[in-house]
Protein backbone atom coordinates (compact mmCIF):
# COMPACT_ATOMS: atom_id res chain seq x y z
CA UNK A 1 0.00 0.00 0.00
CA UNK A 2 1.39 3.36 -1.00
CA UNK A 3 0.19 6.75 0.12
CA UNK A 4 2.00 9.90 1.08
CA UNK A 5 2.34 12.38 3.88
CA UNK A 6 0.01 15.31 3.30
CA UNK A 7 0.96 17.32 6.39
CA UNK A 8 3.24 17.13 9.43
CA UNK A 9 1.88 19.08 12.42
CA UNK A 10 3.22 20.23 15.80
CA UNK A 11 2.14 22.51 18.63
CA UNK A 12 3.16 23.91 21.98
CA UNK A 13 0.38 21.74 23.45
CA UNK A 14 -3.27 21.17 22.62
CA UNK A 15 -5.16 21.51 19.37
CA UNK A 16 -4.92 22.45 16.66
CA UNK A 17 -1.42 21.48 15.63
CA UNK A 18 0.20 23.54 12.88
CA UNK A 19 2.02 22.48 9.71
CA UNK A 20 5.79 22.32 9.44
CA UNK A 21 7.91 21.85 6.31
CA UNK A 22 9.75 18.81 7.71
CA UNK A 23 10.37 17.15 11.04
CA UNK A 24 12.94 15.08 12.88
CA UNK A 25 11.46 12.18 14.82
CA UNK A 26 12.97 10.96 18.07
CA UNK A 27 11.97 8.03 20.31
CA UNK A 28 8.93 9.83 21.73
CA UNK A 29 7.83 11.84 18.70
CA UNK A 30 8.58 14.92 16.66
CA UNK A 31 11.30 17.05 18.18
CA UNK A 32 9.72 20.32 19.31
CA UNK A 33 6.17 18.98 19.56
CA UNK A 34 4.76 19.37 23.07
CA UNK A 35 1.92 17.61 24.90
CA UNK A 36 0.32 19.51 27.79
CA UNK A 37 -1.19 16.50 29.56
CA UNK A 38 1.50 13.81 29.56
CA UNK A 39 -0.66 11.57 31.75
CA UNK A 40 -2.75 10.80 28.66
CA UNK A 41 -0.66 12.02 25.71
CA UNK A 42 2.82 11.30 24.42
CA UNK A 43 5.35 8.73 25.52
CA UNK A 44 6.91 5.88 23.56
CA UNK A 45 3.63 4.03 22.79
CA UNK A 46 1.92 7.25 21.71
CA UNK A 47 4.86 8.94 20.05
CA UNK A 48 2.82 10.18 17.08
CA UNK A 49 -0.85 10.43 16.20
CA UNK A 50 -1.72 9.52 12.59
CA UNK A 51 -5.00 10.43 10.84
CA UNK A 52 -5.91 9.96 7.19
CA UNK A 53 -7.13 12.92 5.15
CA UNK A 54 -9.86 10.67 3.78
CA UNK A 55 -11.13 10.19 7.35
CA UNK A 56 -11.07 13.97 7.85
CA UNK A 57 -13.06 14.33 4.62
CA UNK A 58 -15.70 11.96 6.03
CA UNK A 59 -15.94 14.04 9.17
CA UNK A 60 -16.21 17.28 7.16
CA UNK A 61 -19.01 15.74 5.10
CA UNK A 62 -20.78 14.96 8.40
CA UNK A 63 -20.58 18.65 9.37
CA UNK A 64 -17.50 18.74 11.61
CA UNK A 65 -15.12 21.69 10.91
CA UNK A 66 -11.92 19.62 10.83
CA UNK A 67 -8.79 19.98 8.71
CA UNK A 68 -5.25 18.57 8.80
CA UNK A 69 -3.84 19.19 12.29
CA UNK A 70 -7.20 20.12 13.84
CA UNK A 71 -7.61 16.90 15.77
CA UNK A 72 -4.10 17.05 17.19
CA UNK A 73 -2.55 14.62 14.76
CA UNK A 74 1.13 14.83 13.93
CA UNK A 75 0.85 13.05 10.60
CA UNK A 76 -1.96 13.45 8.08
CA UNK A 77 -1.71 11.12 5.09
CA UNK A 78 -3.45 10.88 1.73
CA UNK A 79 -4.05 7.72 -0.28
CA UNK A 80 -4.36 5.25 2.63
CA UNK A 81 -7.69 3.71 3.58
CA UNK A 82 -8.02 3.93 7.38
CA UNK A 83 -9.94 0.65 7.32
CA UNK A 84 -6.81 -1.35 6.37
CA UNK A 85 -4.65 -0.02 9.20
CA UNK A 86 -4.29 -2.57 12.02
CA UNK A 87 -2.73 -2.68 15.46
CA UNK A 88 0.75 -4.20 15.21
CA UNK A 89 1.44 -3.17 11.61
CA UNK A 90 4.67 -1.39 10.77
CA UNK A 91 4.67 1.49 8.28
CA UNK A 92 7.44 3.55 6.71
CA UNK A 93 6.79 7.31 6.59
CA UNK A 94 9.70 8.99 4.86
CA UNK A 95 12.78 7.72 6.75
CA UNK A 96 10.73 6.93 9.87
CA UNK A 97 9.37 3.46 10.66
CA UNK A 98 6.41 3.33 13.02
CA UNK A 99 4.30 0.59 14.60
CA UNK A 100 0.56 0.98 15.23
CA UNK A 101 0.19 0.60 19.02
CA UNK A 102 -3.30 1.73 19.95
CA UNK A 103 -6.42 3.53 18.88
CA UNK A 104 -6.82 7.12 19.92
CA UNK A 105 -9.63 7.57 22.44
CA UNK A 106 -10.96 11.10 21.94
CA UNK A 107 -11.42 13.45 24.87
CA UNK A 108 -12.91 16.89 25.53
CA UNK A 109 -9.95 18.48 23.72
CA UNK A 110 -11.93 17.90 20.52
CA UNK A 111 -14.99 19.84 21.75
CA UNK A 112 -14.22 22.87 19.54
CA UNK A 113 -15.05 20.65 16.55
CA UNK A 114 -18.39 19.36 17.86
CA UNK A 115 -19.22 19.81 21.54
CA UNK A 116 -19.47 16.22 22.77
CA UNK A 117 -20.66 14.93 19.39
CA UNK A 118 -17.40 14.49 17.50
CA UNK A 119 -16.21 11.97 20.10
CA UNK A 120 -19.23 9.74 19.36
CA UNK A 121 -18.72 10.17 15.62
CA UNK A 122 -15.12 8.93 15.73
CA UNK A 123 -15.09 6.30 18.49
CA UNK A 124 -17.36 3.53 19.74
CA UNK A 125 -17.28 0.32 21.77
CA UNK A 126 -16.14 -1.66 18.72
CA UNK A 127 -13.12 0.58 18.20
CA UNK A 128 -12.34 0.39 21.93
CA UNK A 129 -12.42 -3.41 21.65
CA UNK A 130 -10.03 -3.33 18.67
CA UNK A 131 -12.71 -4.33 16.15
CA UNK A 132 -11.63 -2.96 12.77
CA UNK A 133 -15.10 -3.67 11.29
CA UNK A 134 -16.47 -0.61 13.13
CA UNK A 135 -17.50 2.16 10.71
CA UNK A 136 -15.63 4.52 13.06
CA UNK A 137 -12.32 2.59 12.86
CA UNK A 138 -9.44 5.04 12.60
CA UNK A 139 -11.51 8.22 12.44
CA UNK A 140 -10.04 9.38 15.77
CA UNK A 141 -6.56 8.33 14.65
CA UNK A 142 -3.89 5.77 15.38
CA UNK A 143 -1.14 6.11 17.95
CA UNK A 144 2.25 4.78 16.89
CA UNK A 145 5.58 3.97 18.47
CA UNK A 146 8.84 4.75 16.71
CA UNK A 147 10.75 1.73 15.40
CA UNK A 148 13.34 3.65 13.37
CA UNK A 149 14.22 7.32 13.92
CA UNK A 150 14.60 9.74 11.04
CA UNK A 151 13.03 12.64 9.25
CA UNK A 152 9.92 13.07 7.16
CA UNK A 153 8.14 15.78 5.23
CA UNK A 154 4.95 16.34 3.26
CA UNK A 155 5.12 14.42 -0.01
CA UNK A 156 7.17 11.58 1.45
CA UNK A 157 5.81 8.09 0.67
CA UNK A 158 3.93 6.03 3.25
CA UNK A 159 4.12 2.26 2.80
CA UNK A 160 3.02 -0.79 4.73
CA UNK A 161 6.08 -2.84 5.76
CA UNK A 162 4.65 -5.62 7.90
CA UNK A 163 1.09 -6.83 8.14
CA UNK A 164 -0.62 -8.74 10.92
CA UNK A 165 -2.82 -11.81 10.63
The total of structural domains in the chain comes to: 1
pLDDT in tens, 55-112: 999 999 999 999 999 999 999 999 999 999 999 999 999 999 999 999 999 988 899 8
Residue 67 confidence (pLDDT): 98
Q: Which domain holds residue 65?
A: 2-162
Is this structure's pTM higher than 0.75? Answer: yes
Residue 39 confidence (pLDDT): 72
Residue 165 confidence (pLDDT): 65
pLDDT in tens, 27-51: 999 999 998 777 777 889 999 999 9
* Burial state string for 87-114 with b = 16 or more CB within 10 A and e = fewer than 16: eebbbbbbebbbbbbebbebeebbeebb
Cα separation, 72 vs 149, whole angstroms: 21
Residue 55 confidence (pLDDT): 98
CATH number (domain holding residue 123) = 2.40.33.20
Amino acid sequence: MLGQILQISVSKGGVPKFPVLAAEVGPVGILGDIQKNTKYHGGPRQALLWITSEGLDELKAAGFPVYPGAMGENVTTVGIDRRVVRLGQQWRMGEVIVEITKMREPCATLNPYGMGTIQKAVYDAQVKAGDFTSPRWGLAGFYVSIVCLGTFAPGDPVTLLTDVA
